Structure 1
Amino acid sequence: MKLLILGATGPTGRHVVDLALRAGDSVTAFVRNPAALGDLADRVTLFTGDATSPRDVSAAAVGQEAVVSALGVGTSVRAGDLFTRASTAVIGAAGEAGVSRLVWLSSFGVGHTFDWSSGPQKLIYRTLLRSVYADKAIADERIRSSALDWTVVYPTRLTHGPAKGTFSADDRLPMKGNPTISRADVAAFMHRATRSGEWIHRSPVITD
């Protein structure tokens, strides 16, 4: 499968790249800094650009079969308008290139999932993550309103632990406390979703 991966050098995106290569996919890694891919640079097609630039994303989307976005802001508690601008660029680029499949990484607690959150989660989402989540909410709704075959993924708190393969995924899951899921498991779910119609036009919540 020909995959365009945004955020390919990030902590989740790197796992997606690894899994795609193991599966024999043709990977185009959309990055700001090619050196960040390290030893994987020779195994992927590198595209250096800005994920919020419609022109850059459009050029990278040509010839792809699916777009996977694992964009994030790292440890920052401010998104600026990264997700809103990137979603606009991706929707337009995919439409122009004739790419219908989009798997987009969001966060549990964004938009409609906030109401399903536990008390401890809501406190964090209302304070520390308020700016980032507001930007993500707008982006997610834009994607859901698009003509693409989208999947918007809502993982709980991300960790750097190893993949367990035992996580739960559904349109809605009960929450207690502040559950977690490894980035490796999130990447595995996203990669599988590109090949399956099960999650098209759905917004799965995933957690351990």
Structure 2
Amino acid sequence: MKLLVLGATGPTGRHLVDMAVRSGDSVTAFVRNPDALGDLAEGVTPVIGDATSQRDIAAVAAGHDAILSALGRGNSVTADGLFTRSSAALIGAAGAADVSRLVWLSSFGVGHTYAWASTAQKLIYRTVTRAIYADKEIADERIRNSGLDWTVVLPTRLTHGPAKGTFQADDRLPMKGNPTISRADVAAFMHQAAHSDEWIHRSPVITD
């Protein structure tokens, strides 16, 4: 497949790009700073752009089979409108470029999934991540109403641990405590979802 990856230099995006390249996909890495790709640069086509600019994304999106967004705020708890602005730009660009498949990384606890969270998770979601999750909720609903063949991926707390390959994925999963999943496993799921029809128009929760 020919994949366009947003957030390619982030901690989850790097895993996603590496996996896609090793799987034989043709990867366009949409980045602000191509130098940040480091050793991944040789296997991809880097394109400099702003993920909140519809014009920038539309300029490169045509001809791709799917767009995967691994955009994140890193360690910041400030939303800065990243997800609302990038979702609007991406939807407009995908429509203009006639690319229907979109895999979008969000978080468990956003929107309606807050009700399914454990007590420990809810405490974090209504305090530490409150602003970011509010921004993500608007973006996620916009994606779901976009008319695209979307998948909104909802991982529990992300870690930098190695891939286990034994994670759970379903439309709803029971929660206890503050469960985690590695970014490497999240990337593996996103890559798998892009190559399958199984998760189209679904919002899978994933966790170890």
Scaled by the length of structure 1, what TM-score is found?
0.99
Give, as a single letter, the amino acid of the residue that structure 2 aligns with 1:99: V
Indicate the SS of the match to 2:203: coil
Q: Whole-Å Cα distance in 2 between the matches of residues 47 and 24 of structure 1?
A: 19
Q: Whole-Å Cα distance in 2 between the matches of residues 60 and 12 of structure 1?
A: 22
Matched positions, count: 208
Residue aligning to 1:201:
201
Q: CA RMSD in A?
A: 0.5
Give, as a single letter, the amino acid of the residue that structure 1 aligns with 2:207: T
Give, as a single letter, the amino acid of the residue that structure 1 aligns with 2:56: D
Q: Whole-Å Cα distance in 2 between the matches of residues 186 and 87 of structure 1?
A: 19
Q: Whole-Å Cα distance in 2 between the matches of residues 149 and 190 of structure 1?
A: 14
Q: How does 1:174-193 map to 2 (within 5 A)?
A: 174-193=174-193
Structure 1 residue 133 corresponds to structure 2 residue 133:
yes
Structure 1 residue 153 corresponds to structure 2 residue 153:
yes
Q: Whole-Å Cα distance in 1 between the matches of residues 35 and 169 of structure 2?
A: 34
Residue aligning to 1:79:
79
Q: How does 1:87-102 map to 2 (within 5 A)?
A: 87-102=87-102
Indicate the SS of the match to 2:64: coil
Structure 1 residue 117 corresponds to structure 2 residue 134:
no
Indicate the SS of the match to 1:3: strand
Indicate the SS of the match to 1:192: helix
Q: Whole-Å Cα distance in 2 between the matches of residues 133 and 60 of structure 1?
A: 29
Q: How does 1:40-59 map to 2 (within 5 A)?
A: 40-59=40-59
Residue aligning to 1:21:
21
Give, as a single letter, the amino acid of the residue that structure 1 aligns with 2:122: K
Give, as a single letter, the amino acid of the residue that structure 1 aligns with 2:171: D
Indicate the SS of the match to 2:107: coil
Scaled by the length of structure 2, what TM-score is found?
0.99
Task: Tell me which stretches of 4 or more aligned residues in structure 1 moved more than 6 Å.
Answer: none
Q: Whole-Å Cα distance in 1 between the matches of residues 65 and 92 of structure 2?
A: 15
Residue aligning to 1:168:
168
Once the 2 structures are TM-superposed, how far is the Cα of residue 79 of structure 1 from its aligned partner?
1.2
Indicate the SS of the match to 2:11: coil
Indicate the SS of the match to 1:124: helix
Q: Whole-Å Cα distance in 2 between the matches of residues 155 and 39 of structure 1?
A: 27
Indicate the SS of the match to 1:12: helix
Indicate the SS of the match to 1:29: strand
Deviation by residue 1:135-167 (Cα, 9 ceiling, x = unmatched): 000000000001100000000000000000000
Deviation by residue 1:46-102 (Cα, 9 ceiling, x = unmatched): 111100001001112111110000000000001111000000011011111110100
Indicate the SS of the match to 1:185: helix
Gaps of 5+ in 1: none
Seq. identity, %: 77
Once the 2 structures are TM-superposed, how far is the Cα of residue 18 of structure 1 from its aligned partner?
0.4
Structure 1 residue 142 corresponds to structure 2 residue 142:
yes
Once the 2 structures are TM-superposed, how far is the Cα of residue 42 of structure 1 from its aligned partner?
2.1
Indicate the SS of the match to 2:76: coil
Residue aligning to 2:3:
3
Gaps of 5+ in 2: none
